Amino acid sequence: MRPTDVVSSAWAETLQGINADIFKYSMVKPLPATWVEANMILPGNTSRFAGRFSYDMTPYWREPINHLHESSPVRYVTILKSVQIGATAGIVIPGILYIIAVDPDNTLFTAGDLTLAKKTIEERLDTILRESKLDSLIRPHAIKKGNQRTGDTAASKEYSGGTLTALGTRSADSFRYFSAKNAFVDDFDTAPRDVGGEGTVRDLIEGRQNSFGDSAKTFFISTPTFTASSNIWDQYQLGTQKKWHWPCYNCGSLMVMDWKVELEDKSLAGMVWTMDGKGRLTKGSVAFRCMHCGELTHEKDKYERNLNGIWQSMVAEPIDEYHESYSTNAIIQPTGFTGWEALVRQWLKANPPGQRSNVVLLKGFMNLRLGLPFEEQGDSPRATALMSNIGDYHHGVIPDKTCAADGNGKIILLTLACDLGGVMEQGNEDVRLDWELVAHAQTGATYSIDHGSIGTFKRAFEKKKGDVEDPDRKKWTYTHGSVWTNPETGLPENNCVWPVYEEIIKGAYRSEDENEDVRLVSLTVVDTGFFEKTATQFIINMQDQGLRVYGVKGRTDVKYRPVQRDTKPVRRSTEQPKKLYNLEVNQLKDDLSENMALQKGQDGAQPSGFMNFPQQNEGKYSYKGYFMQFEQEQKIIVKDGETVLGYAWKKKHSNAINHFWDVRVYILASVEIYLDLVRQSDTKYKNLTWEEFVIMITE
Ligand SMILES: [Zn+2]
């Protein structure tokens, strides 16, 4: 038996025991859900479900509210909720009514801020109290002559046996100064994460409820926000983590009511639908697919299936004792609110087929509709996924034919980028320049053309164990005009990386298509982060020859990417606007990791940003020498205390080798720089987008 079952069955036994005791029977308080259905009446003007309240519309709230009963050992109830799920009408208001009428004691109710809390009291609680003819229960504890105090305001209500106090969840003082046996903490995600040395808000509440012993009860309720900073998500993880299940009428199994369930064979269950040939949702195609047998359940059966629904814990052993946590989403919300088809349309807007997700819409959908916290994608790019994008073309050749056959139209740009590594110390110059050449198709898909390294420098951890250092190894340098004498031939040789890189920049690259002219590099970028002086000299040399070569450098004043997105990915340097661009590296890395995660559509169509690679040969595009470098960084959360400031990409460990990942970041920047140059070239191109640029040069 699972621990959660132990709790439930222990409680059931207690209840039975009490009920069996005929002498005590009349002393037993009714179960909250039963009492609420018998006594709570919703007024016609404020609720679309006027009249006597029934949990049949929201049967999933019966179990959580029943934990208010004195016989339930549960101390905490956490509700991770979507919007329109009826938690205020099914938990908060009836919970408060039950306490006032049946089991009175001091109660704290908090919502986002005090105004919101008062609004709920005035518009929801007060009207229902009157309609249910329970308003006579509200009366002042003491009536003094000439005192206007009625014991009944929006912020405070007095009743025999207790006081209800309304406050703002956002304010730590709400929990610091109020001692209440029962607390309904709504909008819990707005609560401060940390209350200056006093721990969490839950710690505060726990401290204030100490005198009530095991009988105190706290309900945490909220839609979640960001995973890393979500109070309600934290509490959900501590409890029993229950999800609502429907029975499947075909196979008899219980179906977890999740939006998307990926099965072992990669097929999907949960919400399913079909699209017509024009990329539109097929009307009437939305259904819920059983993850056990594939049977479809339709929305018209929602009411009836909900009535037969059941909560099931998703963990073998919860971390907290006596903590029930529940997760809900819009699939099961009452009929009359946003329906399945509208939900799927919202989902498709956030995840347009064949395109990048709209992060803002997706976050909204996850939080408000699925009741789940959201983390931006791309925390951990996978190289193996990238390797499945290896195509049939060969490196060193421009794959014009392949590109057209892939549905990506014409190749319109060829850009080259490099990352500089090594040491440049007096008497010890030993460097390596890693580079990649990439073709950009008009649809935004890319084709890697070639990659390589100039120089032989390796960090200590890059060397294999037992590697013997060759005393005669040719060491390379960034020093212009440097010469090295080959000990075997006694002849002088160039050992400066720049002339070699220059050859790649000036290369003429032939096409797969014999009718096409050779292609030249459209724009080259050089990393100037660490070896700025010699790199800048090289850039000047190249620009003097009329070549588009620019320096790139991560902004050193920006340590993370703020939670809100979308600053300019590249900016002309103020000191050297003609030579150098500053990069928003964390933003470009987000884009790169998103591109890495892109998949072809069912018809093989490649979304914008999709990365193609040539056949692996001559040691190029190997897992160890190339692809592995794309998964050496991870996205981490940057905090100030408990406040999430944003995200930053960091190496997974200090020995991680990630040159080609960096090179690809510069490649992404190279396209932005190219567009910036076009925009500067004429005022009529001032606001030119990639799409407009494509039209301009292809039509
Ligand atoms: Zn089934």
Q: What is the pLDDT of residue 46?
A: 62
* Integer Cα distance of 36 and 48 in angstroms: 18
In residues, how long is the chain?
699
CA distance to 71, 171, 529, per residue, from 648 (Å): 49, 30, 18
The three-state secondary structure class of 511 is: strand
Q: What is the pLDDT of residue 307?
A: 96
> Of the candidates 123, 71, 66, 124, which has an alpha carbon nearest to the alpha carbon of residue 98?
66
Q: How far is the CA of 486 from the centre of ligand 1 (A)?
A: 74
Q: How far is the CA of 78 from the centre of ligand 1 (A)?
A: 29
Strands of 91-173 (E only): list them: 107-111, 156-159, 162-168
> Of the candidates 287, 172, 189, which has an alpha carbon nearest to the alpha carbon of residue 233?
189
Q: How far is the CA of 256 from the centre of ligand 1 (A)?
A: 11
Q: How far is the CA of 282 from the centre of ligand 1 (A)?
A: 23
* Residue matched to tokens 């059966």: 301
Residues 433 and 322 in one domain: no
Q: How far is the CA of 296 from the centre of ligand 1 (A)?
A: 8
Q: How far is the CA of 179 from the centre of ligand 1 (A)?
A: 48
Residue 485's beta-bridge partner residues?
492
Q: Which residues contact 93 (CB under 8 A, 6 or more apart)?
A: 40, 120, 124, 125, 128
682: in domain: yes
Residues 515 and 619 in one domain: yes
Q: How far is the CA of 281 from the centre of ligand 1 (A)?
A: 24
Q: How far is the CA of 288 from the centre of ligand 1 (A)?
A: 10
Q: What is the pLDDT of residue 1?
A: 40
Q: What is the pLDDT of residue 697?
A: 82
* Contact criterion met (CB below 8 Å) for 182 and 218: yes
Residues 454 and 538 in one domain: yes
Residues 361 and 395 in one domain: no
Q: What is the pLDDT of residue 24?
A: 43
273: in domain: no
Residues 333 and 355 in one domain: no
- Per-10-residue mean pLDDT of the chain, 699 residues long, equals 54 55 59 96 79 95 96 96 94 97 96 94 94 92 60 88 94 88 96 80 90 93 83 92 96 96 87 90 95 96 96 91 96 92 95 78 91 68 82 95 94 96 89 96 95 88 68 89 90 94 96 90 94 94 96 79 72 91 90 87 87 94 91 78 75 81 96 93 88 84
Q: How far is the CA of 302 from the centre of ligand 1 (A)?
A: 15
Residues 228 and 356 in one domain: no
Count of CB atoms within 10 A of residue 492's CB? 10
Q: How far is the CA of 285 from the centre of ligand 1 (A)?
A: 18
Residues 353 and 408 in one domain: no
Q: What angle do CA 599, 602, 603 make, to 5 degrees?
A: 110
261: in domain: no
Q: How far is the CA of 445 from the centre of ligand 1 (A)?
A: 40
Q: How far is the CA of 192 from the centre of ligand 1 (A)?
A: 43
Q: How far is the CA of 58 from the centre of ligand 1 (A)?
A: 23
Torsions phi, psi of 503, nearest 5? Answer: -60, -40
Q: What is the pLDDT of residue 10?
A: 62
* Contact criterion met (CB below 8 Å) for 234 and 323: no
* Contact criterion met (CB below 8 Å) for 389 and 381: no
The three-state secondary structure class of 255 is: strand
Q: How far is the CA of 297 from the centre of ligand 1 (A)?
A: 9
Q: How far is the CA of 309 from the centre of ligand 1 (A)?
A: 14
Q: How far is the CA of 603 from the centre of ligand 1 (A)?
A: 29
> Of the candidates 483, 482, 458, which has an alpha carbon nearest to the alpha carbon of residue 468?
458
Q: What is the pLDDT of residue 377?
A: 47
Q: How far is the CA of 291 from the centre of ligand 1 (A)?
A: 7
547: in domain: yes
Q: How far is the CA of 269 from the centre of ligand 1 (A)?
A: 10
* Integer Cα distance of 570 and 454 in angstroms: 27
Q: How far is the CA of 248 from the centre of ligand 1 (A)?
A: 5
Q: What is the pLDDT of residue 5?
A: 57
Q: How far is the CA of 325 from the centre of ligand 1 (A)?
A: 26
Residues 353 and 387 in one domain: no
Q: What is the pLDDT of residue 16?
A: 54
615: in domain: yes
* Residue matched to tokens 């510069």: 666
Q: How far is the CA of 221 from the centre of ligand 1 (A)?
A: 32
CATH number at residue 30: 3.40.50.300
Q: How far is the CA of 658 from the centre of ligand 1 (A)?
A: 46
* Integer Cα distance of 474 and 276 in angstroms: 62
Q: How far is the CA of 289 from the centre of ligand 1 (A)?
A: 8
Q: How far is the CA of 328 from the centre of ligand 1 (A)?
A: 21
Q: How far is the CA of 263 from the centre of ligand 1 (A)?
A: 13
Q: How far is the CA of 312 from the centre of ligand 1 (A)?
A: 17
Give every strand in the sheet of 643-651, ordered side by side: 561-562, 643-651, 633-640
Residues 323 and 351 in one domain: no
Q: How far is the CA of 370 from the centre of ligand 1 (A)?
A: 22
505: in domain: yes
Strands of 372-462 (E only): list them: 411-425, 428-441, 446-455
Q: How far is the CA of 290 from the centre of ligand 1 (A)?
A: 5
Q: What angle do CA 89, 91, 95 make, to 5 degrees?
A: 110
466: in domain: no
Q: How far is the CA of 60 from the centre of ligand 1 (A)?
A: 21
Q: How far is the CA of 292 from the centre of ligand 1 (A)?
A: 5
Residues 333 and 398 in one domain: no
221: in domain: yes
Residues 425 and 323 in one domain: no
Number of domains, the chain: 3
Q: How far is the CA of 270 from the centre of ligand 1 (A)?
A: 11
* Contact criterion met (CB below 8 Å) for 343 and 330: yes
Q: How far is the CA of 262 from the centre of ligand 1 (A)?
A: 15
Q: How far is the CA of 258 from the centre of ligand 1 (A)?
A: 14
Residues 452 and 537 in one domain: yes
> Of the candidates 564, 592, 559, which has an alpha carbon nearest to the alpha carbon of residue 226?
564
Q: How far is the CA of 255 from the centre of ligand 1 (A)?
A: 7
Q: How far is the CA of 66 from the centre of ligand 1 (A)?
A: 30
- What is the domain extent for residue 448? 383-458+498-698
> Of the candidates 145, 125, 202, 123, which has an alpha carbon nearest to the alpha carbon of residue 169?
202
